[in-house]
Amino acid sequence: MTEKEKCAAGLLYNANYDEQLIQERVACKDLCLEYNGLKNSDAESRQNLIKQILGSTKENICIEPSFWCDYGYNIEVGENFYANHNLVILDCAPVKFGDNVFIGPNCSFYTAGHPLDAKQRNEGLEYAHPITVGDNVWLGGNVVILPGVSIGNNTVIGAGSVVTKSIPENVVAVGNPCRVVKSIPEEN
């Protein structure tokens, strides 16, 4: 089993020393650097390049620079997607965003995690678990989403939250660790 196959299976894999994964990350980061250097007024080039970086997109998307990801091909973005400046997506596992997702500045999505055992960490081992963000989700600035988290439809995550566990739909959740503080009535 290759390191990439181990990663896809949610097993410990070696990301630091596997040539295939290193080459894929380097190629993606080169594209991210190119994207981040484009003028905001060059909307057509920005759209074309971001759709080249990401695995799957709908038509109406906007990601403000700077944007960084590991592989790009594991990211799926729905319609009417907006991410403010300094978005980081460590997409070792799939990261799926629904339609009408709005992300504040300085937000991070981390599918990768590392073993507690120092020997395993020092060998370059890590694991990756998918992240899913539903439709009509708003994430405030400086939100961090950790491996394996799902965020339900119509949910708002308050600024500065660290989301360590999945959050249901139709709620407002805030804090570190992020917790549900109230429900959002369906008529809103």
Indicate if the alpha-carbon torsion angle 18, 24, 25, 30 is positive or negative. Answer: positive
Residue numbers of the domain that contains 102:
3-183
For the four alpha carbons of 11, 14, 18 and 23, in that order, the dihedral sign comes to positive
Q: How far apart are CA 188 and CA 170, in angstroms?
A: 10
**Residue 27 covered by a domain:** yes
Choose among 146, 144, 187, 151: nearest CA to 169: 151
In 15-160, the DSSP E strands lie at 56-57, 61-63, 67-69, 75-77, 81-83, 87-90, 95-97, 102-103, 108-110, 112-113, 125-128, 131-133, 138-139, 144-145, 150-151, 156-157
Is residue 34 in a domain?
Answer: yes
Q: Residue 185: what pLDDT?
A: 86
For residue 113, the model assigns a pLDDT of 95
The reply to whether 188 falls in a domain is no
Ordered mean pLDDT values, 10 residues apiece, the chain (188 residues): 95 93 97 97 95 95 97 98 98 98 98 95 94 98 98 98 98 98 83
Retrieve residue 106's tokens: 């300085």
Out of 29, 114, 129, 179, pick the active-site residue: 114
- Judge whether 12 and 115 are in contact, CB under 8 Å: yes
CATH number, position 12: 2.160.10.10
- pLDDT tens, 56-108? 999 999 999 999 999 999 999 999 999 999 999 999 999 999 999 999 999 99
What is the pLDDT at residue 1? 93
- pLDDT value at residue 139: 98
Number of domains within the chain? 1
Supply φ then ψ for residue 63, to 5 degrees.
-125, 115
Residue 51, domain member (yes or no): yes
Residue 46, phi-psi category: left (phi > 0), alpha (psi -120 to 50), beta (remainder): alpha
Q: Are 133 and 119 in contact (CB under 8 A)?
A: no
Identify the pLDDT of residue 186.
Answer: 75
In a domain, 138, yes or no: yes
In a domain, 154, yes or no: yes
129 is catalytic: no
The pTM (predicted TM-score) of the whole model is 0.95
Kindly calculate the radius of gyration of the chain based on its CA atoms and give it in whole angstroms. 17
Contact (Cβ atoms closer than 8 angstroms) between residue 104 and residue 88: no
- Residue 82 within any structural domain of the chain: yes
Position 188 scores a pLDDT of 54
Give the model's pLDDT for residue 93. 97
Residue 149 lies in a domain: yes
Residue 76 neighbours by CB distance under 10 Å: 17
- Beta-bridged to residue 69, according to DSSP, are 89
